[in-house]
Amino acid sequence: MGAAVASRPLRADAQRNYDRIVEVASDAFAERGVLTSLDDIACRAGVGPGTLYRHFPTRDGLIAAALGDSLDRLEALSTKLTASDDPAAALDEWMLALANHLRTYDNLPESIAQAFRTDDSPLRNSCRPLTDTTAVLVARAKEAGAIRDDVDSRDLFALVSSVAWASQRRRDSDAGLERMLALATSGIH
């Protein structure tokens, strides 16, 4: 999920630039959110704006690359949870992990929501496994009778995103996020 797929390997200097841009972007997004200046990221990475935009023609592509490690961890968790013997607990664990992921950077939930309105967004494509896993876990929880039959995975994903956004705005602790998520999702059971 993490790195961009190229048709051929990058030259060593281009790979160094790519890696440096992603590293600096990750730090800048953590400090100031995903709406931070891309030109500032290029400057901090020691490359020109043209180099940044050659590697990442859109902000979504850079966000997706910066989220690579977090998305990889969620993919591993997804594999574990979709094989779980307890569908209700698996869904709860997934929702909390997803909410924590969505708090990675300020304004990330809004950026992901926007990306899902654009078919060719690299951020949408990198986050698609998150919505797919949510759908699988919701279906399993329904089959087990652990959640209501009218729970829709897209609605649940939007609800978790909204809780993550609100928690981020309030600067909640992890415990605060968990409490808010439990309160928001108590109606699905």
**pLDDT per residue as tens digits for the range 63-84:** 999 999 999 999 999 999 999 9
Domain carrying residue 36: 12-66
Residue 7 has pLDDT above 70, yes or no: no
- Please indicate, yes or no, if residue 1 is contained in any of the structural domains: no
Same domain, 25 and 51: yes
Q: What percent of the chain has pLDDT over 70?
A: 95
**Calpha distance 21→46 (Å, rounded):** 8
- In which band, very low, low, confident or very high, does the pLDDT at 150 lie, cut at 50, 70 and 90? very high
Same domain, 174 and 88: yes
- The CATH number linked to 44 is 1.10.10.60
Read off φ and ψ for residue 47, nearest 5 degrees: -125, 165
Same domain, 141 and 177: yes
Q: End of a domain among 42, 66, 90? A: 66
For the entire predicted model, the pTM comes to 0.88
- Residue 141 has a CB neighbour count (10 Å cut-off) of 25
